[in-house]
Amino acid sequence: MAHAAKPAHAAVIGGGVIGGGWVARLIQNGVDVGIFDPDPQAARKIGDVMMNADHALARLTMAPMPPRGEMHFAASIAAAVDGAELIIEAVPERLDVKQAVYDEIEAAAAADAVISSSTSGILPSDLQAKMRHPERLLVGHPFNPVYLLPLVELVGGSATDPATIDRAAGFFAGLGMHPLPIAREIEAFVADRFLEAVWREALWLVKDGIATTQEIDDAIRYGFGLRWAQMGLFETYRVAGGEAGMAHFIAQFGPCLKWPWTKLMDVPELTDELVTTISDQSDAQSGQHSIRELERIRDNNLVAILHALKANDWGAGQTVANWEKSLYDAVPARTETAIDRPLETMRQQVPSGWTDYNGHMNEARYLDCFSMATDAVMRRIGVDAAYLAEGGSYFTVETHIRHLDEVTAGTQIFATSQILRGEGKKMQLFHHLYAVAADGGSRLLATGEHMLIHVDMNSRSASLPRADVAARLAELAAAHEALPRPEGAGRAVGGDQ
What's the start-to-end Cα distance of the chain, in Å?
56
The stretch 451-463 carries a mean pLDDT of 94
**What's residue 347's pLDDT?**
87
The candidate with the shortest Cα–Cα distance to 21, out of 90, 68, 76, is: 90
- Coil vs helix vs strand at 35: strand
Mean of pLDDT values over 82-87: 97
Verify cis geometry, omega within 30 degrees of 0, for the bond prior to 66.
no
Query: Structure pTM?
Result: 0.80
- Taking all residues of the chain, what is their mean pLDDT, rounded to a whole number? 91
* Residue 41: band (very low, low, confident or very high) from pLDDT cuts 50, 70, 90: very high
Closest among 49, 117, 14, 22 to 298, alpha carbons compared: 49
Overall fold of domain 335-480:
Thiol Ester Dehydrase; Chain A (3.10.129)
Per-residue confidence (pLDDT) for residue 168, from 0 to 100: 97
Q: Which residues, other chains included, contact 220 with Cβ-Cβ below 8 Å and sequence gap of 6+? A: 198
95-109 pLDDT per residue, tens: 999 999 999 999 999
Could you read off the pLDDT of 310-350 as tens digits, one per residue? 988 999 999 999 998 888 777 665 555 678 899 999 888 88
DSSP string, 201-267: HHHHHHHTTS--HHHHHHHIIIIIHHHHHHHTTHHHHHHHTGGGHHHHHHHHHGGGGGSS---TT--
Give 218-237 pLDDT, tens digit per residue: 999 999 999 999 899 889 88
Q: What is the pLDDT of residues 2-25, one digit of tens each?
A: 677 899 999 999 999 999 999 999
Cα–Cα distance for residue pair 274/206, rounded to 1 Å = 8
- Out of 70-74, 254-258, 481-485, least confident range: 254-258
Does residue 494 register a pLDDT over 90? no
pLDDT at 301 over 70: yes
Q: What is the pLDDT of residues 169-187, one digit of tens each?
A: 999 999 999 999 999 999 9
CATH class of the domain at 9-189:
alpha beta
pLDDT value of position 2: 60
159 has a pLDDT exceeding 70: yes
DSSP 98: H
- d(CA 376, CA 383) in angstroms, rounded, equals 9
- Which residues, 6 or more positions from 38, have their beta carbon under 8 angstroms from its beta carbon? none
**Radius of gyration of the CA atoms of the chain, in A:** 26
pLDDT for 489 equals: 93
Q: Which of 110-119, 200-209, 238-247 is the least confident region? A: 238-247
What pLDDT digit, counting tens, does each position of 380-395 carry?
999 987 898 899 999 9
- Residue 286, judged by CB atoms within 10 A of its CB (0-12, 13-18, 19+), counts as middle
Query: Any residues with CB less than 8 A from the CB of 431 and at least 6 apart, and which?
Result: 345, 369, 370, 373, 374, 415, 416, 417, 418, 447, 448, 449, 450
What per-residue confidence (pLDDT) applies to 355?
86
Looking at residue 146, what is its pLDDT? 97
- Count the neighbouring beta carbons within 10 Å of the beta carbon of residue 466: 15
Cβ count near 474 (within 10 Å): 15
pLDDT at 166: 97
- CA 76, 36, 177, 352 torsion-angle sign: positive
Residue 439 pLDDT > 70: yes
**Per-residue pLDDT reduced to its tens digit, 234-275:** 898 888 888 888 888 888 877 877 777 777 778 888 889 988
Q: What is the CATH number of domain 193-288?
A: 1.10.1040.10
Query: H helices then E strands: how many in the chain?
Result: 17, 14
Domain ranges of the chain: 9-189, 193-288, 335-480
Residue 363, pLDDT > 80, answer yes
Mean pLDDT to the nearest integer, 471-491: 94
d(CA 484, CA 48) in angstroms, rounded, equals 46
